[in-house]
Amino acid sequence: MRILVTGASGLLGLNLALEACPEHTVFGQAHSQRLNTSQFEIYQADLLVPGVIERLIDRTQPDWVIHCAAMANLDACEADPERAKQLNSEVPAKLASVVARGGARLLHVSTDAVFDGQHGDYSEDDTPHPLSTYAHTKLEGERAVKEANPAALIARVNLYGWSLSGRRSLGEFFFNNLSAGRQVMGFTDVYFCPLLANDLAHIFLKMLSARLTGLYHVVSSECTSKLTFGQLIARTFGFDERLVIPTSVNQAGLKATRSPHLTLRSDKIAQALGESLPGIASGLERFYVLYLQGYPNYIRQIGTQAIGHSGNQAIG
Ligand SMILES: NC(=O)c1ccc[n+]([C@@H]2O[C@H](COP(=O)([O-])OP(=O)(O)OC[C@H]3O[C@@H](n4cnc5c(N)ncnc54)[C@H](OP(=O)(O)O)[C@@H]3O)[C@@H](O)[C@H]2O)c1
């Protein structure tokens, strides 16, 4: 398949593009970050510029578009709600209609944060109730995609992994601090079901092969508190787990409101694919094995401009 990955410099997009390219022809779109790899074709493009989405689809002629580009930092969304709306709601709407017109298929990436997290155990039939600007704009994006392109696939996710900056995911946050012997807060009252980006990438590829449509929760089959997640990272990497200090999220002084119980059911996707999704321990084990294999450095070098691969094609 020819797969266009938007946001290919981001945490999910880069891992996804790298996991997909051995089997597929991959085109990766990045924006401000220049990428340095020959593994897939890179297109430099600002999706907010009128006409760019059309030109990107025209140039790459994809069978599938996996839309990972977004404004995914919650506090940045609170600080600039207009840009959050453009990137998280309006760009997905435009992309969905352009993709539908051209005959390709779209997998749009959304978030577990569309729920307020008051009770947890959410299925795809539960009514979302977003709390933050990020969550509001992402939910609006889902609705706009569904309206413009009813055959689109929409995945609500939560993920961690190794990123270009080395600082993008919660897994890296715990790794960076614990490996340096620094204490970190571990929230006792925030629950989630995180998947390793590399595992999520393979599940996405299976979803494309199965030609699924509609809304799916694509999260780990197990859920945990952020405290326990930090302690498990410490244990997996051999760090001192007492450095993870049990803390309430209310004591952390975060700008955007966080939903406390973001535990989502993944049985719909498990049934559709005929397999259950990875649990927390297996994801962390792979996170550790990737570390031992030097994957974090490999990923970071892709963001290093000094080693001159200049194959980035600009679309403006
Ligand atoms: N990370 C999580 O824990 C998490 C949880 C739930 C859902 N999600 C969802 O998963 C998806 C991927 O998130 P992520 O964590 O991988 O995000 P990320 O690391 O912040 O990456 C965002 C991507 O969007 C690109 N981008 C930003 N502005 C753009 C613009 N104007 N035009 C084109 N591209 C632009 C960025 O490009 P440059 O960097 O090159 O500028 C980057 O590649 C998002 O839909 C997010 O809402 C993430």
pLDDT (tens, 9 = 90+) of the chain, 316 residues, equals: 999 999 999 999 999 999 999 999 999 999 999 999 999 999 999 999 999 999 999 999 999 999 999 999 999 999 999 999 999 999 999 999 999 998 899 999 999 999 999 999 999 999 999 999 999 999 999 999 999 999 999 999 999 999 999 999 999 999 999 999 999 999 999 999 999 999 999 999 999 999 999 999 999 999 999 999 999 999 999 999 999 999 999 888 777 777 889 999 999 999 999 999 999 999 999 999 999 999 999 999 998 754 445 567 888 7
Report how far ligand 1's centroid is from the alpha carbon of 189 (Å): 26
Does residue 132 line the site of ligand 1, with CB under 6 A?
no
Could you identify the atom of ligand 1 that is nearest to the CA of residue 30? Answer: 40
Runs of H (alpha helix) within the chain: 11-20, 52-60, 74-79, 81-85, 91-102, 133-148, 170-179, 197-209, 226-237, 267-273, 280-292, 295-302
Report how far ligand 1's centroid is from the alpha carbon of 173 (Å): 17
pLDDT of residue 128: 97
Q: What is the largest CA-CA distance in the chain?
A: 55
3-class state of residue 10 by DSSP? coil
- 161: which residues sit within 8 A by CB, 6+ positions away? 11, 12, 15, 169, 171, 172, 196, 197, 198, 287
Task: Please give the single-letter amino acid code of residue 210.
Answer: A
Q: Are the CB atoms for 229 and 170 separated by under 8 Å?
A: yes
Does residue 111 line the site of ligand 1, with CB under 6 A?
yes
Tell me, rounded to whole angstroms, the distance of Cα 276 from its chain centroid.
20
Report how far residue 162's alpha carbon sits from residue 174's, in angstroms, rounded to the nearest whole number. 12
Report how far residue 160's alpha carbon sits from residue 148's, in angstroms, rounded to the nearest whole number. 30
Protein residue whose Cα sits closest to atom 36 of ligand 1: 7
Q: How deeply is 119 buried, as exposed, middle or buried, from its count of CB atoms within 10 A (0-12, 13-18, 19+)?
A: exposed
Secondary-structure breakdown of the chain: helix, strand, coil percentages, each rounded to the nearest 5: 45, 20, 40
Could you identify the atom of ligand 1 that is nearest to the CA of residue 109? Answer: 45
Could you identify the atom of ligand 1 that is nearest to the CA of residue 164? Answer: 19
Does residue 108 line the site of ligand 1, with CB under 6 A?
no
Q: CA 128, 261, 258, 269 torsion: positive or negative?
A: negative
Pocket test residue of 19, 44, 68 for ligand 1, highest count of atoms within 8 A of CB: 68
pLDDT of residue 302: 94
Report how far residue 164's alpha carbon sits from residue 186's, in angstroms, rounded to the nearest whole number. 24
Phi then psi dihedrals of residue 5, to 5 deg: -105, 115
Does residue 13 line the site of ligand 1, with CB under 6 A?
yes
pLDDT of residue 117: 94
Runs of H (alpha helix) within 130-225: 133-148, 170-179, 197-209
Could you identify the atom of ligand 1 that is nearest to the CA of residue 73? Answer: 20
Phi then psi dihedrals of residue 221, to 5 deg: -70, -10
Report how far residue 104's alpha carbon sits from residue 27's, in angstroms, rounded to the nearest whole number. 14
Strand-pair category, 41-45 with 64-67: unpaired
pTM score, whole prediction: 0.96
Report how far residue 276's alpha carbon sits from residue 270's, in angstroms, rounded to the nearest whole number. 5
pLDDT of residue 305: 58
Q: Are the CB atoms for 4 and 64 separated by under 8 Å?
A: yes
pLDDT of residue 308: 45
Q: Which residues pair with 216 in a beta bridge?
A: 155
Size (the chain), residues = 316
Report how far residue 21's alpha carbon sits from residue 37's, in angstroms, rounded to the nearest whole number. 12
pLDDT of residue 311: 65
Please choose, from the candidates 240, 261, 239, 231, the residue with its C-alpha nearest in 3D space to the C-alpha of residue 249. 261
Does residue 10 line the site of ligand 1, with CB under 6 A?
yes
Does residue 47 line the site of ligand 1, with CB under 6 A?
yes
Protein residue whose Cα sits closest to atom 15 of ligand 1: 11
Report how far ligand 1's centroid is from the alpha carbon of 69 (Å): 4
Does residue 9 line the site of ligand 1, with CB under 6 A?
yes
Does residue 138 line the site of ligand 1, with CB under 6 A?
yes
pLDDT of residue 307: 42
